[in-house]
Chain A
Amino acid sequence: MVNCEQVWHDISNYIDGEVDAGLRSAMDEHFRTCPRCSSVLAGMRNVIGLYGDERMIEVPAGYGRRLERRLAQNARPASDQWSTWTAWLVPVAALLVFAGGLRVANSMTTEPALKSEHAQTGQGIPPDMLVVVSADARIFHVPGCDFIHNKDRERTLTAKEAMQQGYVPCLRCLRQYMQTASAGHVTLESEADVDQDTDFEETQRRGK
């Protein structure tokens, strides 16, 4: 059996289906016999239903129109979207070399072949891509990467910001970008021995 205080403590989790079967049935039983708690439960469900209603969202007059206009301005054909990317490839490569995981196979002074159809379908880390960094590591990751250390203290920023702050790409979750983006320019030595994450995050794990 559970008492009223215990019910209040878990009533929100109960609604969200976040209590185990044992507690759930004890709470069900309690609600059947306790008018106060069943009133709280009904009231809480009412709150969730009302506030979850689309009608509760009020936007300023003309908001949608202004947004549409701003997006339309942005959608105008921009010829040199990729030139920022090109300028950005050199520091990427430099950092990768610095991290010790990669060997530069070809000279980076030649213009990368970014105008190819292949590159334009989305390979390479876009500067605006959102990535995460965590508290104690110098690596940036795709959100949700399994190799993010210390997930509780993640921070989201753009790839470009991460680079500027000295973070280097995770070779596990960002490998696809690194390999394809730099096709013909930077070669990974091998799958097995170049994970520079190891230098940082594995060491920390071992140190625990």
Chain B
Amino acid sequence: MPEPNIFVNNPLVKNTEQAGLTREQDLIARVQRGQKELFYELVQPYERRVYAAALAILRNESDAEDVAQEAMLKAFANMRQFRAEARFSTWLIQITVNEALMRRRRGRTVVMEAIDDRRGEESDYAPRDFADWREIPSEALERKEVRQKLAEALATLDRKYREVFVLRDMEQLNIQETAEALGISVASVKTRLLRARLMLRDLLAAGWEQGWFSRLPFEKGNKPW
């Protein structure tokens, strides 16, 4: 008997978030029952996030792409193990992080980074006081130079701050999931996340002063909040 296929060609159903979840659940069930060819459709919405998670840890584009592919294959091989209570995207990201960490451990940088990880995590950080700071509206992300500046700011963060920030705020894992993915405590995640967010806030605010965003069209007449 053919599988019921009510969601595939129904744009109305596809448009609600509720139905989006149902479509994903439907795909998961089919792949678990052996429809391997649907796997890419299932993971495609997350392929960019998977790559970004790998890149955050490996900092090398070709390694990140390779690990992203390996992670997807691993997810595929483990599909029967996926349980509906979990978020599929989170499960994928966790597999990716695990794969990326294993790859990095095989690399040469281990000793250096282990030392790096022990310094200064608990010390307090006072955010700078800026006289003139304006919110960067999300439309600004349409501009490549803005995305570039944000990416550069993120890249200046120490690894331990950057990884937690990327998983929590870019990959949207929750604090517990971030802790599990990186193998660190919840308390560490919170401390590092605070530091990462404060530093990025300072870097972006300083960017205003340095004119990073000065040519943006929204500057004039924009609400100083």
B65: which A residues are within 8 A, CB to CB?
60, 63, 66
What is the 8 Å Cβ interface bit string for chain B, positions 30-59, against chain A (1 contact, 0 not)? 001000110110011001110110000000
Q: Does any Cβ of A come within 8 Å of B129's Cβ?
A: yes
User: Which residues 44-74 of A sit at the B interface, judged by CB distance below 8 A?
Assistant: 44, 46-60, 63-64, 66-68, 70-72, 74
Q: Does any Cβ of B come within 8 Å of A5's Cβ?
A: yes
Verify B77–A126 contact, CB threshold 8 A. Answer: yes
Q: Which residue in B40, B76, B98 is a CB contact (below 8 Å) of A68? A: B40
Verify A55–B197 contact, CB threshold 8 A. Answer: no
Dominant secondary structure of chain A at its interface with chain B: helix
Q: A122 to B95, alpha carbons, bound, how many Å?
A: 20
Q: A9 to B126, alpha carbons, bound, how many Å?
A: 9
Verify B32–A12 contact, CB threshold 8 A. Answer: no
Q: Which residue in B69, B77, B127, B205 is a CB contact (below 8 Å) of A128? A: B77
> Interface residue tally of chain B, by bracket?
35 or more
Q: Does any Cβ of B come within 8 Å of A36's Cβ?
A: yes
Q: Please, which residue of chain A has its CB at the minimum distance from the CB of B75?
A: A130
Q: Does any Cβ of B come within 8 Å of A18's Cβ?
A: yes
Q: A18-B175, A126-B80, A130-B81 are in contact. Are A67 and B68 (CB under 8 A)?
A: yes
B126: which A residues are within 8 A, CB to CB?
5, 8
What is the 8 Å Cβ interface bit string for chain B, positions 122-146, against chain A (1 contact, 0 not)? 0011110110010110101110000
- B contacts, CB < 8 Å to A: 32, 36-37, 39-40, 43-44, 47-49, 51-52, 61, 65, 68-69, 72-74, 76-78, 80-81, 95, 98, 124-127, 129-130, 133, 135-136, 138, 140-142, 147, 150-151, 154, 165, 169-170, 172, 175, 180, 183, 185, 190, 193-194, 197-198, 200-201, 204-205, 225
